[in-house]
C-alpha cells in the first residue's frame, strides 16, 4: 500500500499528489513513469513522474480527472492509500546518459502543454542541477489551466507562458511562440523537447522540422497497460513498429507517425463514455 502524504489542487480537475514510495523515489530518472492501481477493482493507470525526493522517499504525480479511473484517483485524499504504485518504468531521457560537458555547450528549449508541464519539470530540474541552460514554453488553454509555473520558472533561464485565449502571457499557441523566439528574436537552440497533448506535439514537430531543430516528444498519452502487453501504445517511428511504454516513452518527433498515434488514442473513447454514464447513474 502506498500512502498519499500530500494532495494539492493545481487547476480545475487537475491535482498533484505526493506518494510515499521510497524505492521508486530512489531509482527514478527524468522521463520515466509509474503505473498506479487505486484499489482491488481499479485499472492500471500509467502516469509520468512529476518530481521525486529520494531522501523523503516520495514521488509526485499529477492527475487530470478525465476518465473513470482518474476521477476515482482524484477523489482520494491525504492519508488514503493506493493499492499499487509500480516503477520507475520506461527509458530515462536520453540526455541523462550523455556527456555533461557536451550538454553544457548546447541550448535546450522545452515545450510543455497542459499537464505536460508535469514530466517537463524533472527534466528541466536535472538540467538546472547539472548547470545546463534551458528555456521553457508553458502552454495552456487559459490562465486558469496554467500549472506548475513557479516550479518551472525556478529551473529555467527563461519561462514563457502562452494561453490560447490570451488571458495570460502570450496570446497564441506554443508553436507560434517557438517561431517568435527562433525567427523574430533570433534565439538559437540545439534541441527541443515537447511534452503535452498528442496534437500539440505533432504541430511542434512540424514547426521545428522547418528550422532543422532536433525534437524529442513523449508519447505517454497513448499508454494504457504500461508494459507493452496490451499493444495499445503501438506506434510507427521511422517506419518501424515501437511501443511507447517499452521503447519510449520518448522518441524523435520528426519520425513519429502522429496521425496513426492520434487515431490510436481514441480507440477507448466509447468505453470511457459508457463508464462515465454508469458513474453518474451511481
Q: What is the pLDDT of residues 120-156, one digit of tens each?
A: 999 999 999 999 999 999 999 999 999 999 999 999 9
The structural domains of the chain, with segments of one domain joined by +, span 2-89, 94-218
Positions of E strands within the chain: 2-11, 14-20, 33-37, 45-53, 58-64, 81-82, 84-89, 108-113, 134-140, 158-163, 170-171, 191-195, 215-218, 234-237, 240-243, 250-252
Q: Which of 1.20.1250.20, 3.90.550.10, 3.40.50.720, 3.40.50.80 would CATH assign to domain 94-218?
A: 3.40.50.80
Q: Which one is predicted more confidently, 39 or 232?
A: 39
pLDDT score for 277: 45
Assigned C-alpha cell, 148? 506548475
**One-letter-per-residue 3-state SS of 70-90:** HHHHHCCCCCCEECEEEEEEC
| Closest C-alpha among 131, 135, 122 to residue 101 | 131
Q: What is the pLDDT of residues 159-193, one digit of tens each?
A: 999 999 999 999 999 999 999 999 999 999 999 99
Query: What is the CATH code for 2-89?
Result: 2.40.30.10
Q: Do domains 2-89 and 94-218 have the same CATH topology?
A: no
Q: What is the pLDDT of residues 14-45, one digit of tens each?
A: 999 999 999 999 999 999 989 998 888 878 88
Amino acid at each position: 500500500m502506498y500512502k498519499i502524504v500530500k494532495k494539492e489542487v493545481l487547476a480545475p480537475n487537475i491535482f498533484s499528489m505526493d506518494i510515499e514510495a521510497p524505492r521508486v523515489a530512489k531509482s527514478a530518472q527524468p522521463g520515466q513513469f509509474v503505473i498506479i492501481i487505486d484499489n482491488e477493482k481499479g485499472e492500471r493507470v500509467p502516469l509520468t513522474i512529476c518530481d521525486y525526493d529520494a531522501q523523503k522517499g516520495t514521488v509526485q504525480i499529477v492527475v487530470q480527472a478525465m476518465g473513470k479511473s482518474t476521477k476515482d484517483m482524484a477523489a482520494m485524499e491525504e492519508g488514503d492509500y493506493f493499492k499499487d504504485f509500480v516503477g520507475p518504468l520506461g527509458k530515462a531521457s536520453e540526455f541523462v546518459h550523455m556527456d555533461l560537458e557536451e550538454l553544457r555547450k548546447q541550448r535546450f528549449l522545452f515545450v510543455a502543454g497542459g499537464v505536460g508541464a508535469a514530466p517537463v519539470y524533472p527534466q528541466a530540474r536535472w538540467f538546472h542541477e547539472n548547470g545546463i541552460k534551458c528555456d521553457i514554453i508553458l502552454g495552456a488553454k487559459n490562465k486558469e489551466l496554467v500549472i506548475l509555473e513557479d516550479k518551472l520558472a525556478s529551473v529555467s533561464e527563461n519561462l514563457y507562458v502562452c494561453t490560447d485565449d490570451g488571458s495570460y502571457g502570450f496570446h497564441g499557441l506554443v508553436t507560434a511562440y517557438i517561431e517568435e523566439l527562433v525567427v523574430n528574436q533570433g534565439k538559437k537552440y540545439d534541441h527541443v523537447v515537447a511534452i503535452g497533448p498528442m496534437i500539440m506535439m505533432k504541430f511542434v514537430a512540424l514547426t521545428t522540422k522547418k528550422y532543422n531543430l532536433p525534437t524529442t516528444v513523449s508519447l505517454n498519452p497513448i499508454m494504457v497497460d504500461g508494459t507493452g502487453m496490451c499493444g495499445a501504445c503501438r506506434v510507427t517511428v521511422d517506419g518501424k513498429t515501437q511501443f511507447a511504454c517499452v521503447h519510449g516513452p520518448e522518441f524523435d518527433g520528426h519520425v513519429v507517425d502522429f496521425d496513426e498515434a492520434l487515431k490510436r488514442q481514441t480507440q477507448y473513447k466509447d468505453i470511457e463514455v459508457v463508464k462515465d454514464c454508469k458513474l453518474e447513474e451511481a
